[in-house]
């Protein structure tokens, strides 16, 4: 019996890659599900700094956006435009032409406060997803009349439009890195800021003498240096009080660690169930790929 070494090698390579890829997919989706279920829900007003999950409603805080393919008002959008191309005589496939997503901050309100969300780097899973087809590259543009002859000769091009949106007043589940600014939330090293302020003053030594050289002898004695330090301390404490009086602003962003950053119109339980089904599918694919490779090795 002749053994096709090359064919077997290619098949083993494909099944090995499929097994490893599906195994990684299984582990990754299981980790996402565990993060969702193990992270307690926090309130914006009392949330600790770090990795948290929030439930709330999206607000229109900075003005609505217009989705690029439908011009529908929303607070977040993503889109893709694909063109149908012929890959062989009897086969067609979709080729990506354009895609993108909005980067404007979202505002979530949970009844205790607002949290601004930077959607960059997030896995966004919106409730609204629209797919439709047309003959113009952009659905808001009518086909150009100059293309009429081309359309008659080779046929109209076919495009697929996909648009996903989040809208104001929709529920939102969010899990990511929470950080607050203002109202004394930031760490404030009084001594370090005081030292930096004195160094800044010393750059204008003439001005420093004008302010603190009481005996006008052209230099600062120890008593006058003590006055400089006390004045700098008073200035820094005033700055700290001003910052503490500012209202706190809360933000959710992509975590620095390899933790999931998810924004979804669906709740935690629905997402976890979806991730478990994906993990089960990935595990089945991993096992099937491994069994296929084992069978080929035995037969060969």
The reported pTM is 0.68
Q: Two tokens at 40? A: 């307690």
Does residue 201 share a domain with residue 161? no
Same domain, 197 and 146: no
pLDDT score of 298 more than 80: no
Mean pLDDT of the chain: 83
In angstroms, the CA 200 to CA 240 distance is 18
Q: Are residues 14 and 142 in the same domain?
A: yes
Q: Are residues 70 and 16 in the same domain?
A: yes
Give pLDDT tens digits for 1-16: 455 666 667 666 777 7
Indicate whether 90 and 150 sit together in one domain.
yes
140 in Cβ contact with 71 (< 8 Å): yes
Each residue of 93-152: pLDDT tens digit? 899 999 999 999 999 999 999 999 999 999 999 999 999 999 999 998 755 554 555 555
How far apart (Å, rounded) are the C-alpha atoms in residues 216 and 76? 64
Q: Which residue has the higher pLDDT, 300 or 268?
A: 268
For residues 133 and 235, membership in a common domain is answered with no
Helix, strand, or coil (residue 218): coil
Do 166 and 201 have their domain in common? no
Distance CA 49, CA 243 (A): 18
The Cα–Cα gap between 52 and 197 comes to 36
Q: Which domain holds residue 209?
A: 190-245
Token duo for residue 130: 């629209």
Both 64 and 202 in a single domain? Answer: no
The pLDDT value given to residue 1: 47
Question: What is the signed CA dihedral for 72, 77, 78, 79, rounded to 10 degrees?
Answer: 10
Same-domain status, 229 and 267: no
Q: How far is residue 188's CA from residue 221's CA, in Å, rounded to a whole number?
A: 30
Is 214 in the same domain as 72?
no
The upper half-sphere exposure of residue 247, i.e. CA atoms within 13 Å in the direction of its Cβ, equals 6
Of 245, 265, 291, which marks where a domain is finished? 245
Angstrom CA distances, 100 to 69, 77, 152, stand at 11, 8, 32
Asked which of 31-40, 121-130, 187-196 is least confident by mean pLDDT, the reply is 187-196
């Amino acid at each position: 019996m002749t053994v096709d070494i090359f064919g077997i090698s290619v098949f083993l390579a494909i099944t090995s890659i499929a097994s490893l890829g599906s195994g990684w997919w299984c582990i990754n989706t299981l980790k996402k599900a565990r993060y969702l279920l193990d992270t307690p829900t926090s309130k914006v007003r009392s949330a600790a700094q770090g990795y948290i999950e929030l439930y709330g409603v999206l607000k229109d805080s900075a003005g609505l956006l217009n989705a690029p393919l439908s011009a529908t008002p929303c607070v977040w959008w993503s889109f893709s435009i694909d063109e149908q191309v012929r890959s062989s005589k009897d086969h067609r496939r979709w080729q990506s032409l354009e895609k993108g997503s909005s980067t404007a901050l979202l505002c979530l309100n949970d009844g205790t406060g607002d949290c601004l969300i930077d959607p960059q780097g997030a896995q966004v899973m919106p409730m609204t997803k629209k797919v439709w087809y047309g003959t113009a590259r952009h659905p808001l543009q009518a086909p150009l009349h100059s293309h009429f002859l081309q359309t008659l000769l080779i046929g109209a091009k076919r495009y697929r439009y996909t648009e996903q949106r989040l809208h104001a007043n929709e529920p939102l589940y969010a899990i990511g890195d929470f950080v607050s600014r203002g109202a004394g939330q930031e760490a404030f090293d009084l001594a370090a800021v005081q030292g930096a302020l004195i160094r800044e003053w010393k750059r204008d030594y003439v001005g420093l003498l004008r302010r603190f050289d009481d005996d006008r002898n052209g230099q600062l004695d120890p008593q006058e240096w003590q006055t400089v330090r006390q004045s700098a301390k008073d200035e820094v404490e005033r700055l700290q009080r001003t910052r503490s009086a500012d209202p706190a602003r809360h933000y959710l962003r992509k975590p620095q660690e390899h933790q999931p950053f998810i924004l979804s119109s669906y709740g935690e339980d629905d997402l976890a169930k979806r991730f478990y089904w994906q993990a089960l599918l990935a595990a089945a694919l991993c096992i099937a790929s491994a069994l296929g490779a084992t069978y080929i090795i035995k037969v060969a």
